[in-house]
Structure 1
Amino acid sequence: MDCAMPLTLPSSIRPAAPSPLASRLDSLLPALADARVLLVDDDPGMIQVLGRLLSGYSQLRFATDGAQALAIARSWQPELVLLDAEMPGIDGFEVCRQLKADPLLAEVPVIFVTQHTDARVEAAVFELGAADFVAKPVAGPALRARVAMQLRLHRTAQRLLRLARRDALTGVAERAQFNDELDLECRRARRSGQPLALLLAGLEGLTAYRERHGQGAADNALRHVANLAQHALQRPGDLVARHGDEVFALLLPDTNAAGAAALAARLLQALNGEDALTLAIGIGLLASEGDPAAAAEAALAAARAAGAGRVYVCAATADGHEPPLAT
């Protein structure tokens, strides 16, 4: 069974026309439809039922045993796990315990879906760190509402954590938060094998601009570039940070060289003609080894040496990085 394939539902269990209440609940989905949800149950029929009930989510994967669930969670990084308690081998309790012990997965909400109705079992799953408990047979509207609530809470908590660590001038993430997020995303990328790009954008001409227009105007220019960078990002996992006095970092998980270069081109175009201000951009790429920050620094230095408005890309290696190349 290929756990990465989308669920295909037999005609016998495809959803009927939704009730008015279900339609209202489904209206909550658009902002969450891209959430990664992992379904774990040793009963394939139950997997199909859950897949039908959560068909509004575009990224559903499933596992039919505990070992498979842990492997998918570690490589795919779901945003929510629906977990059966009783499974052969590694049961749901142990799966939850291992998820909560993993620094990369500890904050992922887990909803137990089980036939147990004993209050002691319910208490035990909450002691393990589960976010919610749903008894079988599952009621569709209630399940969808619980899943949506936990996803909203999860994403809101992430946003609040980022807002608590903002650069005072520009409102983007501060350097310390960036360092923490970069370390976390590097570990995720190495574990999953997914690409990771780091874009460093240096604002060129700011010193002359400050002398001509004053400190207040220079501060507004930095805020403007920060705003352009934030609007250029489209995914919740992307991050803009103040990396230096005149440098911004854009951390781009699941992004290859082509995707990062396209984003760099949009930033350059957005700032084009802004009173002699422009950007030099360096892109660092992580494969399986090396430091993408060092690669991005080397690429930014090459871009600045080549002249404003240039973009260079550099891949990290185990012993440093490759020579920076112009895009």
Structure 2
Amino acid sequence: MQESPDPTPHAFRTSVDPPYDTMADGSPPAEITKPASDATPELAPAPVPGDLAKQWRPMKVGTPAPVFEPKPPSGLSYRPDTVCDGWSTEALHLRLASVRGLQHRFDGRPREDDVAAACDSMTRTVVFAVADGVSGARQPHIGSQLACRSAVDEMLAQVQGDGGGYVPDWDKVLSTVHWQLLEQARRILRHPDAGPKDTAELLATTLVAGTATPTGRGVDIQLISVGDSGAWQIQHERFYRLVGGKSAGADGLISCAVDPLPFLPSSVIRPLSFGLEQGTVLLVGTDGFGDPLGDGTGAVARLFYDRLRSPIPPLSFAHLLDFSRETFDDDRTLIALWPRATEVP
């Protein structure tokens, strides 16, 4: 009886590539095949569209919000519904995302949060900023974007200058944001004498800004906050609020009042400074994340604790932030920093 010929074309066979895996019994697989440059490899079956859509539906936390198709945001300039980014340095992993809230998706308003981050190539210091445009302002999305970009630019300039990896003058960071907002308002209003009150009515925004500086002993963090955006730390299986956020008054009620930029604090800014320990995660975000997080003991806290034990892909980070929980419909913006378990020179 004539032996059946090998059905695998010779062009697809190779004897020099190592096996990619082993069989269930530990033995090497049969011959590994590799497509030649002039051959068309067989493609895997395409995912079923319905199944793919289900993979990216918002994660439900408790009672979810109703499902609907978002309306396009109004405005003269393009502003995406969702942005995300992620990269790593020798000392840190960084992930960030900003997503439009359900209320703005339903109303057709643009995302009013913004976020920015950068790394100094010399000191390897990471600078970052998160801002939440105040909804009562007429163009808060412009204010938050300008606040983040100008804060990051000023922090980088100080880190690269005499700061040696640190920001020596935080008051200058805020005053730079203050003047950038005023100048932008004067251009928009075509009013060269517009002051802080006029600017706040147009571009008011909160801001959390900070630096993460690698040292021989670890990573040093410095943070400042204006308004109700805040920062938290996941440590020892618990959430700890560091700066900002909303606090309950003596009557137990949560105040939504903020004192935003362009108004400057009346006292000298002193940053919160601490070391980012191994096994902890630093989170910096707007109240769209902070409000559902609450005191850090509920379902949202458990979701983020479980998913952020280690760095996740940027798209997964944005998907996580876009969770669905009834009554929480604000824009959400979040930065996460993980210290890397490597020795920093």
Report TM bin, short chain: under 0.3
TM-score normalised by the chain length of structure 1: 0.27
Greater Cα radius of gyration, structure 1 or 2: 2
Structure with higher RCO (Cα < 8 A, 6+ apart): 2
TM-score normalised by the chain length of structure 2: 0.26
